[in-house]
């Protein structure tokens, strides 16, 4: 007899409201503003070095070089440090599927399967169920760090922080009143952004948004073909641009590279089983051509990341897949372990739950490594209308507008997986939560600056090696 699926509890709306009120009694909203590093706080450099132990050794100095550029770039790579800090604080107990690294640069635009540009979270390497406020705190703290980097004054920064938290709170209240299906279909495209924020965002913000959207639509597989490949003996091959882009036969000895390629090709064949049958059929119409190691991001540098080229009808029909390693979430040291045995699956399932629209080739697989141990990976398209925020050029008004979009988007992602009625009741209608988050963000940005200084001191003292300019 087949094993029965467990029963799913269904609380009434009144019961869910009561859950939120009880959580508020247990942890007042004002308490979210508290942050004082404990005397037992782990050394931030030791935490980074623990992560480095499982990464590609020759790439780790690039990660440190990128993190050392500014307090903001340090923050981007310091998810493990902040996870440890958040774990030391009391929490609401209201659980959602967390992004785990919800800083403002991990939001952006990409193409939906219907070929429209949507705005959403786009990085789920650390996703795991946990207290909803951990994501909100990381988002708001990232805005404070970025606003300091931009030189905005105290009042400008405070306005950005409180408006972001307020948009999260207001959006959650809206979602709490929606039907389940209406919520599931909600997404943020260009028309919705203009409709929702157009009257308040200002001309500069909307013009900036349009420029980003136009640029994103040109960042596709044909641009990747032009920038990342060349023709060699009548066949397309990846360019060699070490250490950022390295063809597979340059990563390994020539004698070993065919074996590595075949191992990855076997994993890609197996990965197809994680796709729906129609998407599996589409992928099977493409022919494997080449693969290369590609350095991506800030926090991810040093993890094993490959880009694989396929060709369909002809050379003007390329398909680029990113094959990115997934290790245990930094949150798993403080929260229940993932229910998924494969961390690639953990990333994919979390992404599908939180995003309004996910890549059609999103899947996962485990691959035996040359180091004698298996590595988990997830797969997705590379450069499918990818739009990234240009934070270095944002005015205070544009950054505030962007923060509001992120707050709305994060609330929608949390509402899909958590009890949106309970969370909304917990947050309430007033601005107490908003002000507490702003206070937390300011204190945490101070700590982040101290941690960034610790990294630059360690580099200057030759305690760790860093490569800059890459």
High-pLDDT (> 70) share of the chain, %: 97
Name the packing angle between helices 432-460 and 60-67 (round to 10°): 120
The pLDDT of residue 428 is above 80: yes
Q: Which among 436, 464, 404 has a CA at the least distance from the CA of 188?
A: 404
150: left (phi over 0), alpha (psi -120 to 50) or beta: alpha
d(C-alpha 310, C-alpha 225), whole Å: 11
Q: What confidence tier does 2 reach under pLDDT thresholds 50, 70, 90?
A: low
Contact 394, 187 (CB under 8 A): no
Question: SS3 of 202, please?
Answer: coil
**Mean pLDDT over all residues of the chain?**
93
Q: Which residue do the tokens 């789920």 mark?
A: 124
d(C-alpha 373, C-alpha 135), whole Å: 32
DSSP state of 374: E
| 180 beta partners | none
d(C-alpha 292, C-alpha 305), whole Å: 9
The pLDDT of residue 395 is above 80: yes
Query: Mean pLDDT over residues 177-194, rounded?
Result: 91
The pLDDT of residue 130 is above 80: yes
DSSP state of 329: -
d(C-alpha 159, C-alpha 163), whole Å: 6
- Residue 338, phi then psi, degrees to nearest 5: -60, 145
The pLDDT of residue 58 is above 80: yes
Query: Mean pLDDT over residues 307-319, rounded?
Result: 95
Q: Model confidence over 222-269: pLDDT tens digits?
A: 999 999 999 999 999 999 999 999 999 898 876 667 777 888 888 899
Domain ranges of the chain: 13-217+391-460, 221-381
High-pLDDT (> 90) share of the chain, %: 78
d(C-alpha 344, C-alpha 389), whole Å: 26
d(C-alpha 343, C-alpha 324), whole Å: 11
How far from 304 is each of 137, 158, 208, 421, CA to CA, in Å?
29, 39, 34, 40
Report the pLDDT value the prediction gives residue 373, as an integer from 0 to 100.
Answer: 86
The pLDDT of residue 279 is above 70: yes
Q: What confidence tier does 210 reach under pLDDT thresholds 50, 70, 90?
A: confident
Between residues 425 and 40, the one the model is more confident about: 425
Report the pLDDT value the prediction gives residue 255, as an integer from 0 to 100.
Answer: 61
The pLDDT of residue 1 is above 60: no
Write the DSSP string, 31-70. GGG-----TTPPPHHHHHHHHHTTS-GGGHHHHHHHHTT-
Report the pLDDT value the prediction gives residue 333, as an integer from 0 to 100.
Answer: 96
Helix residue ranges per DSSP H, 92-247: 132-149, 154-176, 180-185, 190-201, 203-218, 221-228
Query: Mean pLDDT over residues 350-374, rounded?
Result: 91
Close Cβ partners of 242 (under 8 Å, ≥ 6 residues apart): 250
Contact 236, 229 (CB under 8 A): yes
The pLDDT of residue 199 is above 70: no
Q: What confidence tier does 8 reach under pLDDT thresholds 50, 70, 90?
A: confident
Q: Model confidence over 143-167: pLDDT tens digits?
A: 999 999 999 999 999 999 999 999 9
């Amino acid at each position: 007899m087949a094993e029965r699926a467990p029963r799913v509890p269904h609380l009434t709306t009144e019961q869910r409201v009561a859950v939120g009120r009880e959580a508020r009694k247990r942890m007042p909203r004002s308490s979210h503003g508290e942050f004082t590093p404990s005397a037992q706080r782990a050394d931030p450099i030791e935490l980074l070095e623990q992560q480095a132990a499982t990464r590609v050794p020759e790439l780790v100095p690039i990660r440190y070089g990128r993190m050392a550029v500014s307090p903001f770039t340090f923050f981007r790579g310091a998810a493990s440090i902040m996870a440890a800090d958040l774990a030391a604080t009391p929490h609401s107990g209201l659980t959602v599927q967390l992004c785990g690294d919800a800083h403002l640069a991990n939001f952006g635009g990409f193409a939906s399967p219907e070929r429209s540009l949507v705005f959403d979270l786009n990085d789920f390497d650390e996703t795991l169920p946990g207290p909803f406020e951990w994501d909100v705190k990381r988002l708001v703290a990232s805005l404070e760090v970025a606003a300091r980097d931009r030189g905005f004054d105290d009042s400008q920064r405070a306005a950005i922080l409180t408006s972001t938290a307020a948009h999260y709170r207001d959006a959650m209240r809206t979602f709490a009143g929606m039907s389940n299906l209406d919520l599931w279909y909600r997404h943020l495209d260009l028309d919705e952004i203009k409709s929702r924020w157009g009257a308040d965002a200002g001309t500069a913000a909307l013009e900036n948004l349009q420029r980003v959207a136009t640029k994103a639509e040109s960042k596709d597989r044909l641009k990747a073909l032009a920038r990342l490949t060349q023709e060699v003996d009548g066949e397309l091959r990846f360019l060699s641009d070490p250490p950022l882009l390295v063809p597979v036969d340059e990563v390994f000895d020539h004698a070993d590279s065919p074996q590595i390629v075949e191992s990855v090709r076997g994993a890609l064949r197996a990965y197809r089983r994680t796709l729906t049958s129609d998407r599996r059929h589409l992928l099977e119409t493409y022919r494997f051509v080449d693969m290369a190691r590609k350095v991506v991001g800030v926090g991810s540098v040093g993890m094993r990341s490959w880009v694989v080229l396929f060709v369909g009808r002809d050379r003007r029909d390329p398909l680029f897949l990113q094959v990115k390693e997934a290790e245990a979430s930094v949150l798993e040291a403080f929260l229940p372990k993932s229910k998924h045995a494969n961390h690639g699956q953990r990333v994919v399932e979390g992404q599908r739950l939180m995003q309004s629209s996910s890549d059609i080739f999103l899947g996962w697989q485990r691959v035996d490594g040359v180091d004698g141990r298996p590595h988990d990976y997830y797969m997705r398209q590379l450069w499918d209308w990818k739009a990234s925020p240009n934070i270095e050029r944002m005015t205070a008004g544009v950054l505030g507008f962007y923060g509001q979009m992120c707050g709305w988007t994060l609330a929608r992602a949390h509402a899909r997986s958590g009890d949106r009625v309970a969370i909304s009741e917990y947050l309430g209608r007033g601005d107490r939560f908003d002000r507490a988050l702003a206070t937390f963000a300011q204190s945490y940005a101070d700590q982040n600056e101290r941690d960034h200084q610790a990294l630059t001191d360690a580099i200057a003292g030759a305690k760790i090696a860093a490569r800059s300019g890459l």
